[in-house]
Structure 1
Amino acid sequence: MTYLRLQNIKKSFGNFLTNDNINISIAAGSIHAILGENGAGKTTLKKV
């Protein structure tokens, strides 16, 4: 069973696109992590 589904998430700061076309499906009771280099948009995605 899907607990949370996000589709086509986009975030930009002015003309600078930080997250583009992000799709996430999280099942109830599952554990997930967001990994990436510095400046990859992890915190921005979390704040959306």
Structure 2
Amino acid sequence: MVTFGSYPPAVEAGLLIGAVLVEALVLYVGYGALEGMVGQQLLDRIKRT
């Protein structure tokens, strides 16, 4: 992880919160796309078993 030792604690906290929000957004979009591509096929396969 990159350290920002020269920034005040409030700025470091803001950067950390921003990084967590960006990661959450990427995961949300990524899992949404994955679910859109294979979700229905997976449900159909589960229903057949």
Higher relative contact order (CA 8 A, sep 6+): 1
| Structure with higher strand content | 1
State the structure with more CA Rg: 2
| Structure with higher helix content | 2
TM-score (norm 1): 0.24
TM-score (norm 2): 0.24
